[in-house]
A and B are shown apart, each in its own frame.
Chain A
Amino acid sequence: AQTVTQSQPEMSVQEAETVTLSCTYDTSESDYYLFWYKQPPSRQMILVIRQEAYKQQNATENRFSVNFQKAAKSFSLKISDSQLGDAAMYFCAYRSSSGTYKYIFGTGTRLKVLA
């Protein structure tokens, strides 16, 4: 069975600085999807970025980018120029390309942004 691990329960970053959130996963599959979701106090999960495993190029969305290391089964999220609005819980998620289209989430990392 697939698992997702986020080893950093909490991280802090100074406003305008860069922070990297870690995520590792375990799977025997070669084709899958990876996601980062943000959950602010409003509770609504918001998609930050997605990565398709068969694409070697790292995904980028404005200030958010990933470092996808398929062999190491690592999928870290880098937030550049951190803003106060980035403060939230961040969840890493895995989705198989076959079978049930369920997402497997990690336990989350709480990001604090310091003014």
Chain B
Amino acid sequence: ETGVTQSPTHLIKTRGQQVTLRCSSQSGHNTVSWYQQALGQGPQFIFQYYREEENGRGNFPPRFSGLQFPNYSSELNVNALELDDSALYLCASSLRTGNYGYTFGSGTRLTVV
């Protein structure tokens, strides 16, 4: 059973640029959630995808967008990067409701300069 894989592990971008982060779900999981974890903080919910459709969204602007593919892998796209977007981005997969908990990846550390 494979876990959740995220790529890349680290990334440095310039303010105003665009970035795409990738996530492969754990085998058998059909739901992917993305979280932003700023330094010293708990993860904040960005959005969730279920069967290729957005299933809920946190308090993040539209320049944060995502996709889920038929194999349940997912992408997080961020346009017009700002300095405050610097954070650890965590992908988590689960069955539909996540009642039994998420399986998290190791995250992508994004630095915006």
| Residue positions of A touching B, CB distance < 8 A | 4, 33, 35, 37, 42-47, 50, 52, 91, 93, 95, 99-108
How many residue pairs, one in A and one in B, have C-beta atoms under 8 Å apart?
68
Q: In the complex, A43 Cα to B57 Cα: how many Å?
A: 23
Does A106 contact B42, Cβ atoms closer than 8 Å? yes
Residues of A within 8 A of B14 (CB): none
CB-CB under 8 A for A105 and B42, given A44-B105, A45-B102, A50-B100: yes
- The answer to the question of B2 belonging to the interface, with a C-beta cut-off of 8 Å to chain A, is no
Does A102 contact B104, Cβ atoms closer than 8 Å? no
Does B56 contact A44, Cβ atoms closer than 8 Å? no
Does A45 contact B92, Cβ atoms closer than 8 Å? yes
Q: Which of B40, B45, B104 contacts A104 (CB 8 A)?
A: B45
- The answer to the question of B8 belonging to the interface, with a C-beta cut-off of 8 Å to chain A, is no
Does B45 contact A91, Cβ atoms closer than 8 Å? no
Does B101 contact A50, Cβ atoms closer than 8 Å? yes
- The answer to the question of B55 belonging to the interface, with a C-beta cut-off of 8 Å to chain A, is yes
Residues of A within 8 A of B58 (CB): 102
Identify which of residues 32-64 in chain B touch chain A, using a CB-to-CB cut-off of 8 Å: 33, 35, 40-45, 48, 55-58
Q: In the complex, A102 Cα to B98 Cα: how many Å?
A: 8
Q: Told that A43-B109, A101-B31, A103-B45 touch, could you supply 9 new A-B pairs with CB distance under 8 A?
A: A4-B42, A43-B106, A43-B107, A44-B104, A44-B105, A44-B106, A50-B101, A100-B45, A101-B33
- The answer to the question of B23 belonging to the interface, with a C-beta cut-off of 8 Å to chain A, is no
Q: Name 7 interchain pairs, CB-CB below 8 A, sorted by A.
A: A47-B103, A93-B42, A99-B56, A100-B48, A101-B48, A101-B56, A105-B44
CB-CB under 8 A for A91 and B102, given A43-B88, A100-B56, A102-B48: no
